[in-house]
């Protein structure tokens, strides 16, 4: 018998065995992923993780809906509908919906006090800030499999599409004071990358002398080692900002003048671009006019390249609107223009080289949240080094989009390895030398890790 590619009978057998072992592992893990999403479901919405995050979170909910859509479409649709129940009348989509009461989280609804705000919904307490836009691309990806084949999905789409447009319109009208096409965030919690070294210079500039101490109110430290979580000093600053926004009843025009925190974040704006692109696709399916969205998108793509691209370093950096400077810290947010399709081939090649040199760096799983050669890199601390599965998922799509097939496969391989050998954790120690059983960090039983695992293995997302 002739063997193609010089595969000997013995190695062929070995390859077959590996294939079946892998299939077995992924079947077992898929069942576990579904169990996690089912356990974390509170009847129509899914909490990110049982102990740390007991409510519905905005960007988590988008990734979760995508995972749910593979095995429980009704719950996926409910997830999205319940997220938009929290939407404010000015279009703002809050970062947390407090659908039920739970003492195990700080800051809860009493701290946000959004009932005093004219735009907040009545009958559902929410937070008063937002998170990166996910629903445009999530629904667009789901539409690739479900539009026209499932009438419940088509109904959802008709209902939610205008709400996503209203959210983006809020961002372009209320969070872009100089009409540049770049949206600013006013709190590190709005970035989703809460404790990234990106925020250090802005937060350090907040004097905490007369700021209330909230250390005794924190609940996160009951479940996670304090050395892996933000400091008490920084929690003071987080709550200082919340108290400030509340004092203006969440009126963005007043907040912008007063807040020390106004950053045009690369991750947030890249996800906005990718969500705009998703909306343009959905508008086509619905027969809606997408001219306004196309205009927004062209402007944001031009602006992110003008203000955030740093030619000397070959990297995208956040822009601090308060001191009018780029924040020169290399973090994984800088790769997200790949996901957005916002960079040129030339820029994409430079980003790819950065990924290999400063993040892979010969000894680290892809993709650490902070470059390993940054002084602030810490392989164990929340957003200051560990790998996050949602970032890997966006990076995977971005690398594929620009034709970096081998690098995309490496990201996928590392992602599956981390989950299959360690578990469904919130984040992971990226160092090669760490034993797999010791890599899991933050919350366990983490919903988006489970949801995106399903998307990675079930794949896949054929859109447009």
- Name the site residues for ligand DGY (rule: CB under 6 A): 95, 189, 194
- Cβ 194 to ligand DGY, closest distance in Å? 5
> Measured from the CB atom, is 130 or 354 closer to ligand DGY?
130
What is d(CA 253, CA 62) in angstroms, rounded to the nearest whole number? 28
> Measured from the CB atom, is 174 or 228 closer to ligand DGY?
228
- Cβ 57 to ligand DGY, closest distance in Å? 7
Contact 46, 89 (CB under 8 A): no
- Cβ 96 to ligand DGY, closest distance in Å? 6
Chain centre distance of CA 217: 26
> Measured from the CB atom, is 315 or 388 closer to ligand DGY?
388
> Measured from the CB atom, is 69 or 188 closer to ligand DGY?
188
CA–CA distances in Å: residue 162 to residues 156, 183, 203, 252, 277: 11, 20, 35, 22, 15
- Cβ 438 to ligand DGY, closest distance in Å? 23
Task: Please identify which residue in the block is written with the tokens 């690398």.
Answer: 399
> Measured from the CB atom, is 189 or 424 closer to ligand DGY?
189
Of 36, 88, 81, the C-alpha closest to 56 is: 81
> Measured from the CB atom, is 191 or 300 closer to ligand DGY?
191
List, by residue number, the catalytic residues.
Answer: 194, 426
Task: Please identify which residue in the block is written with the tokens 């990234």.
Answer: 196
What is d(CA 443, CA 384) in angstroms, rounded to the nearest whole number? 16
- Cβ 368 to ligand DGY, closest distance in Å? 19
- Cβ 123 to ligand DGY, closest distance in Å? 22
Contact 260, 203 (CB under 8 A): no
> Measured from the CB atom, is 83 or 457 closer to ligand DGY?
83
What is d(CA 152, CA 147) in angstroms, rounded to the nearest whole number? 9
| Closest chain position to ligand DGY (CB) | 189
- Cβ 387 to ligand DGY, closest distance in Å? 17
> Measured from the CB atom, is 194 or 313 closer to ligand DGY?
194
- Cβ 95 to ligand DGY, closest distance in Å? 6
What is d(CA 87, CA 67) in angstroms, rounded to the nearest whole number? 22
Backbone angles phi and psi of 194, in degrees to 5: -40, -45
Q: Which two tokens stand for residue 351?
A: 């980003």
């Amino acid at each position: 018998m002739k063997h193609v590619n010089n595969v000997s009978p013995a190695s062929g057998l070995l390859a077959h065995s590996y294939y079946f072992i892998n299939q077995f592992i992924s079947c077992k893990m898929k069942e576990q992923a579904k169990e996690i999403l089912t356990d974390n479901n509170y009847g129509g919405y899914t909490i990110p993780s049982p102990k740390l995050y007991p409510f519905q979170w905005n960007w988590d909910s988008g990734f979760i809906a995508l995972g749910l859509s593979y095995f429980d479409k009704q719950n996926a649709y409910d997830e999205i509908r319940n997220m938009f129940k929290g939407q404010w009348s000015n279009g703002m989509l809050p970062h947390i919906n407090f659908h039920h009461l739970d003492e195990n989280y700080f800051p809860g609804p009493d701290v946000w006090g959004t009932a005093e705000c004219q735009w907040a919904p009545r009958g559902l307490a929410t937070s008063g800030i937002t998170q990166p836009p996910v629903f445009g691309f999530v629904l667009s990806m789901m539409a690739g499999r479900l539009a026209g084949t499932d009438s419940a999905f088509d109904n959802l789409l008709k209902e939610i599409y205008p709400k996503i447009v209203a959210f983006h319109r809020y961002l372009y009208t209320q969070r872009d004071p100089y009409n540049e096409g770049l949206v600013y965030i006013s709190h590190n919690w709005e970035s989703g990358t809460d404790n990234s070294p990106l925020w250090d210079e802005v937060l350090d500039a907040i004097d905490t002398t007369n700021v209330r101490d909230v250390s005794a109110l924190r609940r996160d430290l009951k479940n996670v080692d304090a050395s892996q979580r933000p400091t008490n000093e920084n929690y003071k600053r987080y709550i200082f900002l919340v108290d400030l926004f509340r004092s203006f009843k969440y009126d963005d025009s007043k907040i912008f003048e007063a807040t020390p925190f106004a950053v045009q974040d690369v991750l947030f704006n890249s996800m906005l671009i990718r969500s705009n692109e998703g909306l343009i696709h959905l508008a086509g399916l619905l027969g809606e006019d997408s001219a306004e969205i196309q205009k927004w998108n062209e402007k944001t793509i031009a602006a992110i390249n003008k203000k955030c691209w740093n030619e000397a370093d070959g990297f995208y950096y956040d822009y601090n609107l308060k001191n009018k400077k780029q924040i020169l810290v290399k973090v994984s947010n800088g790769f997200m223009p790949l996901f957005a399709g916002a960079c040129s081939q030339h820029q994409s090649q430079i980003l790819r080289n950065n990924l290999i040199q400063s993040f892979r760096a010969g000894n680290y799983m892809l993709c650490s949240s902070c470059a390993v050669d940054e002084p602030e890199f810490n392989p164990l601390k929340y957003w200051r080094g560990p790998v996050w599965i949602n970032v890997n998922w966006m990076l995977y799509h971005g690398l594929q989009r620009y034709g970096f097939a081998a690098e995309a496969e490496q990201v996928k391989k590392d992602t599956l390895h981390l989950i299959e050998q360690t578990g469904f954790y919130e984040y992971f120690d990226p160092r090669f030398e760490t034993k797999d059983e010791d890599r899991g960090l933050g919350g366990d039983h983490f919903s988006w890790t489970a949801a995106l695992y399903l998307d990675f293995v079930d794949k896949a997302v054929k859109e447009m």
